[in-house]
Structure 1
C-alpha cells in the first residue's frame, strides 16, 4: 500500500510538469518542428494537419516505448547487478512464457496500429477529386519545370535556377528568376506530374508532401491550399549534376489574383500547352519526334 501511495504522489507532480511544459509549446513544437505551421494561422493545405498529427502521434508512441524500454534496461542492470562477495553465475532460465508473449504481442499491436493509421491517412491524401476546380500539368526536366494550366489553356516554361554570388537568402540562388506555380486559395487542385527525361520528385516543402515524376507515367496530386503565401519547391530526387538548382516557387493567391495572373500569361502570348512532344525520351512507347504542329504559337515563332 505504501508503495502505491508513493507512486501516486510521484505521478501527480510529474503530470503537472508535463502539462505545464506542453502548454508553453509553440505551434512549431506542437507540430514536431515540421515546416508550414505558424502562430495563429491556418495550415498551408487541407492535408498538412493530417500529416503533422500522424508524425507527432507516431513519435509520442515511440518515445513512450523508448522510455519504458530504457527504464526496464536500467532497472535490470541495477537490480540484478553483481553484489560484493557474489561468485559464479546467476540462476539460468530457459524461457519465461508471459514475458515472451508480452514482447511478441505488444510490438505486433504497435506495427498493426502504425499500419492502420498510415493507410487511413494515405488513402485520404491520395484520393483524387473527380471534379477539381483547377487542373495543372507539371513537367519536371533537367533542371527546371514547365506548368500547363489546362483549364485556362495557358502555360509557363521555366529555366534552371541561376546562381549569384550573394542574394537576399544568402544561399546563392536568384529566387526572382525561378519558375513560378500560382495556385488559387481554397480551391481543389489536381496536379498531373510528368517527367521529360529522368525521374524527378515534386516537393513543396510547406505542403509536407512529395511525389515522384516518372518518365512515361503520370502521377497525380490533389491538394487544396488553405493559406495565402509564397512557398518554396524543389526536386527531391537526385536527377543529375544540377539537381540542387532545380527549384521553383509556389504562390497561393486569392481567386482574383489568380485570374489576373492567367490573363497576364494570355496577354504575353503563352497560350496553348507544352506537352509530351517536348520530352527528351522520344523512344518510349507512344512517343514520336516532334514536328512542331502542336507547339504553342509563341514557341513556333
Structure 2
C-alpha cells in the first residue's frame, strides 16, 4: 500500500503503534538482562527482537522515524525492580490486548496488521507460559501477613486512640503490639509450613513477617508525626485503605484476579473492625473511669 493512499487517521495510529513497539523493545531488552532464568530471559529477548521488527514494518509504511518513549521504558524497568517482572509483563499484556484491537481495526486498510496481530497473540501465550517468579509463589504468605496486620492493628490503634488520647502513647503501644505480632505471625507461618512439609517454610515465614512489619510501620507513622490523635486516626484509616488498594491492585494484575470485589471486601473488614474497636475503646474508658 502506498503511503499517499493512507488516511491521516491511519497514519497517526501507525506512528503511535510504531513508537509503542520501539518502547516495548527497550522494556523487553532490559527485563531480559535482569531475569536470571535463561529460558525466560531468552524468550524475553526474542520477543523484544520481534517488537523491533514490527516497528521497522511500521516505519516502512509511515516513511518516518520515531523515538521510543524512554521515560516509559525506564519507568517499567524500575517497576520491575520494585514489584517484579511478572507484574510488569502483566501490565504490558493488558496493553497488548488494546493494541490487538487497534490492529483489527487497521486490517482493512493495512493488511500487514493481521500478521502482527497474530504475533502479539503468540507473545501473550509465551508470556503466560513463562511467568514463574518466586515472589508470586508466596503471595498467600504476603496476603496472610498484610491482611492480619490491617485487621488486627487497625482495630488496636482505633481502640487505643480514644482510650489513651495521646499520640506518643498510642504509637508506643502500637509498635510494641505490632512488632510482637510480627514475630508471632512469622513464627506461626514457619511452623505451619514446616508441618505441611514445605521445604521453603523459612521463606514463607519471611514474606509473612515482612508484609506484617511493612503494614505496622505505615499504620503507626501518623501517630509519630502528628500531635492530634483525631487527625492521626483519620490518616491511619486513609493509610489502611491505600495499602489495601495498592496491594489488591498488585495481586489483581500479577495473578489475573478481580480488583473491585477483593478491594471492597478487604476494606470493609478492616474498617469495620476499626470502628468496633474504637467503640470498645470509648466504652472501656468510660466504664473503668481511666484518665490519662
TM-score normalized by the length of structure 2: 0.32
TM-score normalized by the length of structure 1: 0.31
Where is the helix percentage greater, Structure 1 or Structure 2? 2
Where is the strand percentage greater, Structure 1 or Structure 2? 1
Indicate the structure (1 or 2) with the bigger Cα radius of gyration: 1
